[in-house]
Chain A
Amino acid sequence: MQQHSFDVIVVGGGGAGLRAAIAAASADDSLQVAMLSKVYPMRSHTVAAEGGAAAVTRDDDSYAAHFEDTVAGGDWLAEQGVVDYFVRHAHAELVQMERWGCPWSRRPDGHVQVRRFGGMKTERTWFAADKTGFHMLHTLYQTSLKYPNIQRFDEYFVLDLITDESGIGGVIALQISTGELHVLYANAVIMATGGAGRVFRFNTNGGIVTGDGMAIAYRHGVALRDMEFVQYHPTGLPGSGILITEASRGEGGVLLNKDHYRYLQDYDLGPETPLGEPKNKYMELGPRDKLSQAFWHEQQQGRTGKHGESDVVYLDLRHLGAEFLHERLPFICELAKAYVNVDPVKEPIPIRPAVHYTMGGIMTDSQCETSIGGLYAVGECASVGLHGANRLGSNSLSELLVFGRLAGEKAARRARAFANKQHHNLLQARSKAILATWEDKIAGLMDTSTRDPKSRSWAELKQALVTTMETGCGIYRQESALQETLETIRALKADYQDVRIEDQSGVYNTDLLHCIELEFSLDVAEAICLAALERRESRGAHQRLEPELTQRNDREFLKHSLVSWENERAVLRWQDVDTSLSAPGERAYGDQRKTRQADNGGAA
């Protein structure tokens, strides 16, 4: 066992983790910052974000407009003070990225170009072709190299936290290349471990997106907030789930059912907009939850086509022309060709909804701090309260910058304030105990002599988990299926106790790694399912099928769900929502907006 001491520890090397590490390191160059990630930073899933990052940019845009879009897009479950802070700081962060070298797409006059995005009333999404996340991640990783006080621990898998009465004290990590356990002490720790999309079978996420950080914080008593809100992206490739960016629709792509009909006009998103004239908040530029729900209805009514085993609809980009597609959507052309053998210049792309994003996460206050002093969380693993019940596309890349910097600065301040804290005796005792637990646990997993012949492998349990999550916690949900899924998850957790792994080695034991990831995923899945079961209303990405539950019910459920781990079980509570700036109104898109505004005397 090796021990290390730092001022700030960042767990996760994606966009949020890198931004936080740079903020902490540049706040004070005497602070020593450690960044641990289970993969090299540029492998993190930020890399797969395509469409862009939102910020109020044009003269005809306003903070109030971005605020309204985000709050209404989240069906009034966002923390409004947090949204207000976000919209005011997003632009400066994107400018900072520009100055760090991010290759933003440009207008002929050299200014940064903005594109349309779903649910946004104005063009405000900055983009780098259709590889925005990739370029942001590489720009952040490369920029981080300038800071000698950031020390990276690549391919270190964080397993646990060390805490004492005054808050966080450090982390325990497994060095994947050797199998050795490390103790790293710090008075400030930032969780930036990404989402949990891989708890579902069909998803757009990389294999690493298993909810580790959420489960680690949860096991230390931090609540997971709003976990029932899981975003289905309307356009994933059939079979693989590979993401086809919303920018395809922002640039003018349209969705067709098997009869070549633009079906979105039947779901309160119309009237149909002319081909080549996309209109903000209409049709294909409605929000993701509504579009995925429309697919489900088309599927129920037999109006979807087939691609292999998958029911699909079609994304038609042909009218945009080869030159435009190769300039604005080159990656989409490459992906469609490689993975479904379709040239979007000539044929519509078959697509279907796929799990994409966890709106909920580790509960933090507006300053990114959790209920454990000095423990921060940021990015997709966190719930700072920005997205509410449904995230608008292009808000999350801006989120990880705005709140990554905030978390980094807060952590730096905490580290300085606690610099002289004498804690090592108690913490060392604590860390020794936690370390021993993990050593026992790993030895137990490897001890095949005690294997129950009936026990299943982690791979079999994982298959069962992702299948039941899709059945119970899909685009539409109902009591009986949710109940069944919750029972299945709990049975899988029990079965997990008998799992053994084959691989006995220390070096790059990915059998062990995936086995531990599954345990984290099981905790996160239980929280998602429990919250989905208890939220007996329909709001944003959470839709219930029971006739009496198909509407939003503010009287009972204008509340965040909080799932906590207490006395070895998941417990659900409710928390009030900050609606101080905008009273809950009706969410409307397409021409419905006009009607509603007229009904409300133009107040919406």
Chain B
Amino acid sequence: MNVQTRAIEVTRYSPERDKEPYLQRYDVPFDESTSILDALNYIKEHIDATLSYRWSCRMAICGSCGVMVNGIPKLGCKDFLRLYDHTPETPIRIEPLAHFSVERDLIVNMDEFLTHLEAVKPYIIGDNVDTASLPAEASLQSPAQLSRYQQFANCINCGLCYAACPQFGLNPEFVGPGAIALAHRYNLDSRDHGKTERMPLLNSKNGVWSCTFVGFCSDVCPKGVDPAAAVNQGKVDSAKSMLIQLFKGSQLQGEHQ
């Protein structure tokens, strides 16, 4: 039986050894079901144990295995070798996620994203939950209220949208699509009262206005979240909140005059 193989090029980089990242070629067997992650696992276990990358669930929910495949951000476990042309001259190129610092091979510095995520206060604010004694009753939330924020709650924090975002590439301080979508998720939740605490960051120069609405973030999202919509609905909120601030400010000035 002939086993089909496919040529793959993978970025290699060890900060202790290499000045620059370089590409290394491997030939891996594949069939209809072989994912990019399966190919990396094959290399790791059969060809080259020194290749490093992140993975765990292999079912597109843990968000570990984001990489660039032929220049497009993908989850390694949800992208398949069969989808790429098969000639020995055109290897599939697997690289670390763009716009992040590379730590080693395909591993990037995820803290560059999580710092933004944690800064938007992604938790219910103002519900007065006291954890010392458990609350007796659940709050009511209609299916319609749930559906307002539900899609933005589906973000798996994989970072693909950051690798797709040209603005994040230019300005690492940009809060970015994933974190803005999460802020928006809580702002839209009927149980939350924290919008005023989140808006200053979203209004700032690194907030929603940094986005130039390329929309690639939503194209690459493996979970159908639409961060571009969150960012642009965020712009409406931001404009409103700035107008209110402006209005309050002039009122305040008026009072002082």
Q: Which residues of A contact B (CB under 8 A)?
A: 22-23, 26-27, 39-40, 42-45, 47-48, 92-96, 98-101, 103-112, 131, 134-135, 138, 142-143, 145-146, 154, 177, 206-208, 239-240, 242-243, 308, 331, 334-335, 338-341, 457, 459, 462-463, 501-503, 505-511
Q: Are A242 and B59 in contact (CB under 8 A)?
A: yes
Identify which of A106, A111, A341, A463 gathers the most chain B CB atoms within 10 Å of its CB: A106
Identify which of B14, B57, B157, B189 gathers the most chain A CB atoms within 10 Å of its CB: B57
- Least distance between B139 CB and chain A CB atoms (Å): 7
Q: How far is the CA of A510 from the CA of B106 in the complex (A)?
A: 12
How many residue pairs link A and B with beta carbons under 8 A? The number is: 173
Q: How far is the CA of A502 from the CA of B186 in the complex (A)?
A: 46
Contact segment of B22-30, B140-148, B213-221, B245-253: B140-148
Q: How far is the CA of A144 from the CA of B101 in the complex (A)?
A: 26
B136 to chain A: closest residue by CB = A95
Contacts of A107 in B (CB 8 A): 143
Q: Are B124 and A101 in contact (CB under 8 A)?
A: yes
Q: Are A207 and B56 in contact (CB under 8 A)?
A: yes
Q: Are A99 and B124 in contact (CB under 8 A)?
A: yes
Q: What string of 1s and 0s marks CB contacts (under 8 Å) between B130-158 and chain A?
A: 01101111111111011001100110110
Give the residue of A110, A135, A145, A338 whose beta carbon is less than 8 angstroms from that of B153.
Answer: A135
Does B17 belong to the interface (CB within 8 Å)?
A: yes
Q: How far is the CA of A101 from the CA of B183 in the complex (A)?
A: 13
Give the residue of B111, B150, B157 whose beta carbon is less than 8 angstroms from that of A103.
Answer: B150
Q: Are B59 and A240 in contact (CB under 8 A)?
A: yes
Contacts of A104 in B (CB 8 A): 138
Name the interface size band of chain B. Answer: 35 or more
- Least distance between A53 CB and chain B CB atoms (Å): 13
Contacts of B44 in A (CB 8 A): 459, 510
Q: How far is the CA of A487 from the CA of B49 in the complex (A)?
A: 28
Q: Are A42 and B63 in contact (CB under 8 A)?
A: yes
Give the residue of A22, A47, A99, A501 whose beta carbon is less than 8 angstroms from that of B49.
Answer: A501
Does B181 belong to the interface (CB within 8 Å)?
A: no
Q: Are A96 and B186 in contact (CB under 8 A)?
A: no
Q: Are B153 and A507 in contact (CB under 8 A)?
A: no
Contacts of B140 in A (CB 8 A): 109-111
Q: Are A240 and B189 in contact (CB under 8 A)?
A: no
Q: Are B104 and A507 in contact (CB under 8 A)?
A: yes
Q: Are B14 and A505 in contact (CB under 8 A)?
A: yes
Q: How far is the CA of A64 from the CA of B142 in the complex (A)?
A: 31
Q: How far is the CA of A40 from the CA of B127 in the complex (A)?
A: 27
Known interface pairs A100-B123, A506-B16; A459-B46 also in contact (CB < 8 Å)? yes
- Least distance between B79 CB and chain A CB atoms (Å): 10
- Least distance between B61 CB and chain A CB atoms (Å): 5
Q: Are B142 and A505 in contact (CB under 8 A)?
A: no
Q: How far is the CA of A339 from the CA of B62 in the complex (A)?
A: 16
Q: Are B123 and A334 in contact (CB under 8 A)?
A: no
Identify which of A104, A143, A507 gathers the most chain B CB atoms within 10 Å of its CB: A507
18 A-B contacts (beta carbon < 8 Å): A26-B131, A43-B57, A92-B134, A94-B138, A101-B123, A101-B192, A108-B142, A108-B143, A110-B140, A207-B58, A308-B33, A335-B59, A502-B48, A503-B49, A505-B50, A505-B104, A507-B15, A507-B103
Does B78 belong to the interface (CB within 8 Å)?
A: yes
- Least distance between B115 CB and chain A CB atoms (Å): 11
Interfacial residues of chain B within 75-130, with CB under 8 A of chain A in the complex: 78, 103-105, 107, 110-111, 114, 118, 121-124, 127, 129
Q: Are A131 and B61 in contact (CB under 8 A)?
A: yes
- Least distance between B62 CB and chain A CB atoms (Å): 5
Q: How far is the CA of A240 from the CA of B35 in the complex (A)?
A: 11
- Least distance between A315 CB and chain B CB atoms (Å): 16
Q: Are A208 and B56 in contact (CB under 8 A)?
A: yes
Q: Are B139 and A502 in contact (CB under 8 A)?
A: no
Contacts of A240 in B (CB 8 A): 33, 58-59
Q: How far is the CA of A45 from the CA of B186 in the complex (A)?
A: 24
Closest 6 CB pairs of A and B: A110-B140, A206-B56, A459-B45, A26-B131, A508-B104, A98-B138
Give the residue of A92, A98, A206, A459 whose beta carbon is less than 8 angstroms from that of B57.
Answer: A206
Contacts of B62 in A (CB 8 A): 39, 42-45, 47-48, 206
Does B60 belong to the interface (CB within 8 Å)?
A: yes
Does B191 belong to the interface (CB within 8 Å)?
A: yes
B41 to chain A: closest residue by CB = A207
Q: Are A145 and B122 in contact (CB under 8 A)?
A: yes
Known interface pairs A99-B124, A507-B103; A207-B50 also in contact (CB < 8 Å)? no
Q: Are B146 and A47 in contact (CB under 8 A)?
A: no
Q: How far is the CA of A308 from the CA of B154 in the complex (A)?
A: 32
Q: Are B127 and A511 in contact (CB under 8 A)?
A: no
Contacts of B154 in A (CB 8 A): 131
Contacts of B60 in A (CB 8 A): 334-335, 338
Q: Are A96 and B57 in contact (CB under 8 A)?
A: no
Sample of 20 more A-B contacts, CB < 8 Å, known A106-B142, A154-B111, A462-B45 = A39-B54, A42-B62, A42-B63, A43-B57, A45-B62, A47-B61, A48-B61, A95-B138, A100-B129, A101-B192, A106-B141, A134-B61, A142-B182, A240-B58, A242-B58, A331-B61, A335-B60, A503-B50, A505-B17, A510-B52
B149 to chain A: closest residue by CB = A103
Does B55 belong to the interface (CB within 8 Å)?
A: yes
B190 to chain A: closest residue by CB = A110
Known interface pairs A43-B63, A112-B138, A459-B45; A103-B55 also in contact (CB < 8 Å)? no
Q: Are A508 and B103 in contact (CB under 8 A)?
A: yes
Contacts of B52 in A (CB 8 A): 503, 508-511
Does B64 belong to the interface (CB within 8 Å)?
A: yes
Contacts of B58 in A (CB 8 A): 206-207, 240, 242
Contacts of A45 in B (CB 8 A): 56-57, 62
Q: Are A26 and B132 in contact (CB under 8 A)?
A: yes
Contacts of B153 in A (CB 8 A): 103, 135, 138
Contacts of A510 in B (CB 8 A): 44, 52-53
Q: Are A110 and B141 in contact (CB under 8 A)?
A: yes
Contacts of B16 in A (CB 8 A): 505-507
Contacts of B17 in A (CB 8 A): 505
Q: Are A103 and B186 in contact (CB under 8 A)?
A: no
Known interface pairs A96-B134, A508-B107; A134-B156 also in contact (CB < 8 Å)? yes
Known interface pairs A22-B131, A42-B62; A101-B118 also in contact (CB < 8 Å)? no
Q: How far is the CA of A42 from the CA of B54 in the complex (A)?
A: 13
Q: Are B57 and A101 in contact (CB under 8 A)?
A: no
Give the residue of B49, B104, B110 whose beta carbon is less than 8 angstroms from that of A40.
Answer: B110
Identify which of A26, A40, A45, A135 gathers the most chain B CB atoms within 10 Å of its CB: A40
Q: Are A27 and B136 in contact (CB under 8 A)?
A: no
Q: How far is the CA of A463 from the CA of B123 in the complex (A)?
A: 42
